[in-house]
Chains A and B, each alone.
Chain A
């Protein structure tokens, strides 16, 4: 079993819909990252969080440390949101941070 599981693997939505992507993990972490990868491959860091909730524009990320679960929400989705969204956890590793374990990603396609 992977240490980081994302669901769904693929998601198709209509423009304007509210979208939720889930991430569950099974290891101790110091932080969790949500990343966006566009078809060209480049990665953009959306959020890094270790507790509670963060909001940036139409994007909201939440994390429940006790349940080892995080969600990424997109409100009023738009075709330009189409990308692969990746959850990555910063695993406790000899006291240092930054050693990420990645989920397999959720491919989001937003239709106009």
Chain B
């Protein structure tokens, strides 16, 4: 089946620093990728929709200047958490939508801990 990778799988950073998370579709093209966040014991929540070659669409309440999304190619989207704070500690998951089939495939997730 289709594979989506995320890197890194986990990261610990200090408050005030920035962290970049990569999401790659390994065997299909994805014009659209999605970034989700999951806090402990809660559902996944959509943060933003990333479209190749255009600006991301952010959900209400998600700061676009804090969570920078870049979708520079059909197989790669990046999420940069800028000036991270402890409350940004969470599990970040991306998914990629196959441009041909519209099926959505999930990455394994990145656990971010901000100290």
Q: Is the interface of A mostly helix, strand, loop or mixed?
A: strand
Report, as a range, how many residues of chain A touch the other chain: 20 to 34
Chain B: residues with Cβ within 8 Å of the partner, total of 22
Chain B hits for A41, CB < 8 A: 38, 91, 93, 108-109, 111
Contacts of B32 in A (CB 8 A): 96, 98
Indicate with 1 or 0, residue by residue over B17-51, a CB within 8 angstroms of chain A CB atoms. 00000000000000010100010001111100100
Within the assembled complex, what's the spacing in Å between the Cα atoms of A45 and B43? 15
In the assembled complex, the CB of A87 is this many whole angstroms from the nearest CB of chain B, namely 10
In the assembly, what is the distance between CA of A23 and CA of B82, in Å?
37
Residues in A with CB closer than 8 Å to B104 are 33, 45, 48, 90, 98, 100
User: B: which residues have CB within 8 A of A?
Assistant: 32, 34, 38, 42-46, 49, 91, 93, 95, 97, 102-109, 111
Interface residues in chain A, defined as those with a beta carbon under 8 Å from any beta carbon in chain B: 31, 33, 35, 41-45, 48, 86, 88, 90, 96-105
Name 15 extra pairs, CB < 8 A, besides A43-B108, A97-B97, A101-B46: A41-B108, A41-B109, A42-B108, A44-B106, A45-B103, A45-B106, A48-B104, A86-B43, A90-B104, A97-B102, A98-B32, A99-B34, A102-B45, A103-B43, A105-B43
